[in-house]
Copies of this chain bind each other. A is one copy, B any other.
Amino acid sequence: MGEGHYEVIEGGSIITPKGFFAGGVHCGLKKTDRHDIGIIRCEVPAVAAAVYTTNAFQAAPLKVTRESLQDGRLQAVVVNSGNANACTGQQGEADAYEMRAQAARHLGVAEQDVAVASTGVIGELLKMDCVSAGIEALPARLGSTPQSAEDFSQAILTTDLVKKEICVTVDVNGKKVVIAGAAKGSGMIHPNMATMLAFMTTDAVIEQPALQVLMRQATDSTFNMITVDGDTSTNDILIAMASGMASNDVLNEDHPDWEAFAAGFTYVCQVLAQAIARDGEGATKLVEVSVNGAVSDLSARAIAKTVVGSSLVKSAVFGADANWGRIIAAVGRAGEPVNPESVDIRLGDISVLEASRPVIFDEDAALVYLKGDTVRIVVDLHHGEGKATAWGCDLTYDYVRINAAYRT
């Protein structure tokens, strides 16, 4: 992870990198009075990149954003919550284009420099009068104060309980470069080569292809390693914008500080991904599953995601039940090479299985550990050099409650 290369800026947010402004308001898409539309704007056209959901039914805003990103530049992102604008046909597509056009007009930027993102219920048309009112109100409220960032962060949430933000700084040839991110998650969370709604800003000067490659690499080990419920949304997107206002020598893979920048960038992704997992619908805790000794990193990833996604493992963690049998059963059904005789499992520091044999452990200590707000499961396969970590959450009564009546 390259810790030490970057430093966390306490209280930092997506408007901390030079050149960014943000804001959010309530326009009427949510039934409550919480913010439901927000904008990030850059002073200048920013170098930008994105990764998208692999779901076959991609929502209309993703199509529009793909178009905007064809030249690798963006100057603004407009995002609404409360309605996903997915499976909404021609009208949904027209609405997404209209959102982009209106945002561009009111912000005074080029249409093809605006990205659009939506999250919420699938299959209902956007209330465009609400959206228009929100877009009209927003430009006057964009700012670079903590409150502006707070307004934006609130505007992208749905069933999320807490906002997810992180900001770090990295030295790049003596210049302070800032990297920040904001995300929303909660349900339908099982990113696959893409992620939830997540927005990253940086003031780094960086080549667009380098940003795109870095984003994909960072995503593979962070956002793509979380799961709340195994369901991949139609709307997942991660967008990063680089204002270039930090005046560093242009970053690419050959820059001497590339590794430091990449470590900081990846750390921002990881913090957001963990925050999404911890705030999964109904979750009471973060579950981290590390797999070591797999035949490859890819194999370790598959196993870690299988374990962290197992409903039985998730229920046991909720109940603080040290039921490692479910962990090994999940390892065994991942379809990856294992040696059935050589598996170790630890819950935190408590060893429960060694060389595939049960260990007598202190059940009381295990109970105390499993009642904490973060549960770490370590699986060592002793079968190779591959390793990976995945994040998820417990499965609770509240997950069922929330999802048994989401629309109603």
Q: Which residues of A contact B (CB under 8 A)?
A: 54-58, 84, 86-89, 121-124, 187-188, 190, 192, 229-234, 309-312, 315-316, 318-319, 321-326, 328-333, 335, 338, 340, 343, 353, 356-358, 395-397, 399-408
Q: Do B358 and A123 touch across chains, with their CB atoms under 8 A apart?
A: yes
Q: Do A316 and B232 touch across chains, with their CB atoms under 8 A apart?
A: no
Q: Do B55 and A89 touch across chains, with their CB atoms under 8 A apart?
A: no
Q: Do A404 and B315 touch across chains, with their CB atoms under 8 A apart?
A: yes
Determine how close the nearest CB of chain B comes to the CB of A322; give it in whole angstroms.
8
Determine how close the nearest CB of chain B comes to the CB of A369; give it in whole angstroms.
15
A192-B333, A319-B405, A325-B84 known; A358 vs B400 contact (CB < 8 Å) = no
A123-B358, A331-B57, A333-B190 known; A400 vs B318 contact (CB < 8 Å) = yes
Determine how close the nearest CB of chain B comes to the CB of A188; give it in whole angstroms.
6
**B residues less than 8 Å from A322 (CB atoms):** 407
**B residues less than 8 Å from A395 (CB atoms):** 311, 400, 403
Q: Do B87 and A315 touch across chains, with their CB atoms under 8 A apart?
A: no
Q: Do B340 and A407 touch across chains, with their CB atoms under 8 A apart?
A: no
Determine how close the nearest CB of chain B comes to the CB of A191; give it in whole angstroms.
10
Q: What are 20 A-B residue pairs whose CB atoms fall within 8 Å in the complex?
A: A54-B335, A56-B331, A57-B331, A57-B340, A86-B329, A87-B353, A123-B328, A124-B358, A188-B312, A229-B312, A234-B332, A311-B311, A311-B395, A315-B404, A319-B405, A319-B406, A321-B405, A322-B407, A323-B406, A399-B400
- Give complex CA distance A312, B395 in Å: 12
- Give complex CA distance A233, B325 in Å: 10
- Give complex CA distance A209, B48 in Å: 61
- Give complex CA distance A330, B230 in Å: 9
- Give complex CA distance A333, B235 in Å: 12
- Give complex CA distance A1, B321 in Å: 43
Q: Nearest chain-B residue to A352 (Cβ)?
A: B123
Q: Do B329 and A234 touch across chains, with their CB atoms under 8 A apart?
A: yes
